Each structure stands twice: as C-alpha cells, then as structure tokens.
Amino acid sequence: MKQLNIFMPLVAGLTTLSFNAIALDVRAELDRDSRLYTLSWHAEKPVSIVASGELNSSTSIVVGEQLGNTIKTIEWQAPKQDRYTFTFTEQDGEQAVTRSRLLNLEGGRNFRDLGGYETREGKTVKWGKLYRSGALHNLKAQDYALLEELAIQTVVDFRGNSERDNEQTQWQAGDINHMTWDYQLEFDGAAFKEMIMAGRVSEQDMEHAMASMYPGLLNQQKPHYKAMFAELASNDTPLLFHCTAGKDRTGVAAALILHALGVEKEVIMADYVLSEQILRPEDLMGKQDASKEQDPAMAMFARLPKPAIGALMGTRESYLNAAFDEMIAQSGSIDAFIREELGVSDAQIQQLKTNLLY
C-alpha cells in the first residue's frame, strides 16, 4: 500500500544539496531501511507531484495534488521496487523533475546516481548517466530487473584481484564493458594493527590514519582513473564505477569527475561525505555469526571503540582533502592533475561536458 504523510520541517534543517536551483525547488530522498521516499519542495504556489518508474514508464502515480505553497515535506511509500522520477508541477504550470540519489536496491551497497548536481556554469549533471557503488555481489534478481532498465553499458571495477574473488560480480543486466585490472590493493594493515595494539584507537587517531592513506590510494589508482576518463570521453552511455565499500576509491573517482565537469568543491565534498550517512559497519564487516570464523582483519577492527569504527568506515572531509592536497602537490592544481597525471585533454573535458551535462 502507498503511504503518504505530510509534515512541516524546520527550515534550518533543510539542505539545498539535492534541490533544483530554479524557482520551484524540489528534493527526493530514499530511506534505505523503510524504503520510504521523502519529497520536499519550496514553491510560491501549491504543487502536485506525480511519480513514474523505470520498469513501467507509461504508468504515472499521483503522489499528491495541490499541496501547500510553503516549504513542505511528505513521505511516500512506493507500491513496488522501482527507480522513480518525481515531477513537481506548480499551480501556474512550472515544473521541476528530480530523483532520489540512492537507488532502491535490496542487495545494493551505497549505489547512487551522480545526476542533479549543478556546475559553476549553470549546467546540471544528467541523471541516469553516472552511477557509483560498492561491491555488487549481493544484488538480487529484482535488483537486476531494475538495473536492466537503466541500460548501464560500462562497469568500472576498481577492486583488486582478491577483492573481486571474495565478492564476485555476477552481472545480469545485459552485456557490459567490464573494466578490471590485475593488481592487489596496497593497504598498510601493519600500521593499523600497530596503532590498535598500542591502544591508540581514538576517533582522531583513526581519522589521521585514514587521511594518511589517501595519497597512496590516489597514486595507485591513477591508471584506473585515467582509463575511466578515457571511457567517459569516448562513450556517451551510462557508466557505473565501484570498489568494495563505494566510498574511498570510488569517492575520489566521483570527486575527480564532478570537478572536471565544473561542480563546486563544497558540493563535491557533500557527495563524498554522503557515504557515511548511508553505509553502516555491518555492511562491510558483516553481521557476527558465532558458527563461522570471522576474517582476522575484520575481527580486529570489530574490537575497536564505536567512534574509531565510525572513522574507519566513514568519509570525513579530511580524507578527500588529503587526496586533493596530493593532487595539488604533484601538479599545482586539481585541473592540472587531471590533465597531466590522468591524461585528460581540454578537448576530452569539453566532450565530457557535452555527454554528461545539460
């Protein structure tokens, strides 16, 4: 059954990150647990809201009609799993269209659409062209039914060999160009183990350790980021890039793409830290099962205090800033890093903007 709840939120509690920057401001968010959509808007006149899905785009669902003309929020329970587009229409006919950033996938891990972000030039990143995610091994049949409608043509997998072996992707949403690399992730587990054994397990210590890891992560992923940009510039079809958690290697990749498209740094950072709001420790560590032997590294991390686990599994601004600082140290600016270290020409940047912005 569909559920519709209407309430008035505090204006100070709203974020403009997902709003369309026009007179009719709208936002759609999906709660990963309840599968409730929260729809928000700011309009001068009453609005009506219609939802349409990817699986049955010919059918529209009226979510609400002639709803209040001040900032309002409603909660809506979708009748079935789908990727919904929400059209808000003001009384005078003005319209705004938006989607939830998080996809409604039962087996998804931090699976998000990068569409809807505005650039400094007043353009907008197209919905349905760029997706970011964590590992795909838990996707269900109904998830793949939805993904097939998204027509993803390329999957860029930043994971190393052992990661791909441990959580194998069994793609079932059409033929794809599956980009992988023969390498092992360089991770200084000894440094983390030494820190934990020495008792330095505060949230601040873990934040410092994570930020210190990002320059090395950036450098190891350079050839992979370079190949991803080349694919984006040469192909105007939907692309998904992912790693294991969908937050570190994937987070830097998303930041690089959004920067190349001209998105402001504060918006890029907001997209990066969003992973911490979506992911939970059990998504990566798994739920404890007394009958099974736990991975030693995960067992070690599981014994950390909760604030330290939060920093380990999180996406703090200092982490991405450490990657940005490394880019600037190497090339003088992020733009120069993209050109010189990732081999993306000015012509390719323009092609990216043509392909991915409207």
Residue-wise pLDDT tens digits, 68-102: 877 789 999 998 889 999 999 998 899 999 999 99
As a whole number of Å, the end-to-end CA separation of the chain is: 36
**Among 253, 264, 276, 274, CA closest to 344:** 253
Residue-wise pLDDT tens digits, 127-177: 999 999 999 999 999 999 999 999 999 999 999 999 999 999 999 999 999
Residues 6+ apart with CB under 8 A from 126: 115, 356, 357, 358
**Structural domains in the chain, sorted by start:** 4-99 (2.60.40), 112-356 (3.90.190.10)
Question: Residue 40 is inside which H or E element, if any?
Answer: strand 36-42
**Among 160, 101, 108, 143, CA closest to 279:** 108
**Among 237, 35, 63, CA closest to 155:** 237
Q: Count Cβ atoms within 10 A of the Cβ of residue 327 and give its class: 0-12 exposed, 13-18 middle, 19 or more buried.
A: buried
Cβ count near 137 (within 10 Å)? 14
pTM over 0.85: yes
Distance CA 30, CA 37 (A): 5
Distance CA 281, CA 175 (A): 33
Distance CA 256, CA 214 (A): 14
Residue 309: both structure tokens together:
């686990």
pLDDT at site 7: 38
Distance of CA 50 to the CA centre of its chain: 25
pLDDT at site 200: 66
Strand partners, 155: 178, 240
pLDDT means per 10 residues, the chain with 358 residues, are 40 35 78 90 91 84 87 89 93 92 94 97 96 97 95 98 96 98 81 69 91 96 98 96 97 98 98 94 64 56 84 95 98 98 98 97
**Alpha helix positions (H), the chain:** 141-150, 161-166, 189-197, 203-234, 249-261, 265-278, 281-285, 296-302, 306-313, 317-331, 334-340, 346-356
